[in-house]
Amino acid sequence: MSREVISTPNGPAAVGPYSQAIKANGFVFVSGQLGLVPETKQFAGDTVAAQTEQVLKNISAILQAAGSSMAQVVKVTVLLADMAAFAEMNAVYATFFPNDPPARVTFAVKGLPLNGLVEIEVMALA
């Protein structure tokens, strides 16, 4: 059984005691990502669309650092600060998974770290 910590400057640094991702036994488990621009540590914008796009860019960079890609994603968990923003998130999300999208669940939550509007975690094949 192998376990490797994945870290890249192309994704935002962890804001707590967790890794950007862990690669283990043929899978990559990416921690929940916010719409933070890695270079500035600021949100990409104040809309769900802008933050969703940045979240998925961050996830893509982390997966690339692990030797994987968005095409290898098998499961996604989306957390929204407001379920009314589902359609806005979904429109951006669809552009990152145009064919054979992964399994997904979406929850509305009371709050997200740093008052983000969306947080997404994924599991992918390594």
User: What letters, b where the CB count within 10 A reaches 16 and e where it falls short, cover 99-108?
Assistant: eeeeeeebee
Kindly report, residue by residue over 81-102, the tens digit of the pLDDT: 999 999 999 999 999 999 999 9
Closest by CA to 70, choosing from 30, 19, 107, is: 30
Q: Are 88 and 46 in contact (CB under 8 A)?
A: no
For 34-73, the pLDDT digits (tens) are: 999 999 999 999 999 999 999 999 999 999 999 999 999 9
pLDDT at 116 over 90: yes
> Which CATH superfamily groups domain 3-125?
RutC-like (3.30.1330.40)
Report the percent of the chain where pLDDT is more than 70: 100
pTM over 0.85: yes
pLDDT computed for residue 107 by the predictor = 97
